[in-house]
Amino acid sequence: MVEELRPVFRWDRLYIGGGNARLIRETERDRMGDDIVIVPNTAGVAGGVRAWSLEHYHRR
């Protein structure tokens, strides 16, 4: 799935998280490339808080 999405979104880095992200096998992770990072759910929450803070800062 990642390979099909790569040319569409052209990301610098893709963060994959969620409960089932931990089930991705190491061989699959190696095949995905260095621009794919598996993160815990807490990273998404922290990123959302950070994005909210930046949006608020730029609205002033």
Tell me the residue type at 3: E
Amino acid at 41: N
Q: Is the pLDDT of residue 8 over 90?
A: yes
Whether the predicted pLDDT of 53 surpasses 80? no
Q: How far apart are the first and last CA of the chain?
A: 40
Domain interval for residue 28: 2-59
What local confidence, expressed as pLDDT, does residue 39 receive? 87
Contact call for residues 29 and 38 (beta carbons, < 8 A): yes
State whether residue 23 is helix, strand or coil.
helix
Q: Mean pLDDT of all residues in the chain?
A: 84
What would the mean pLDDT of 18-32 be, rounded to a whole number? 88
Give 12's pLDDT tier (boundaries 50, 70, 90).
very high
* pLDDT of the residue at 44: 77
Domain count, the chain: 1
* Helix runs in the chain, H state only: 2-9, 26-32, 41-59
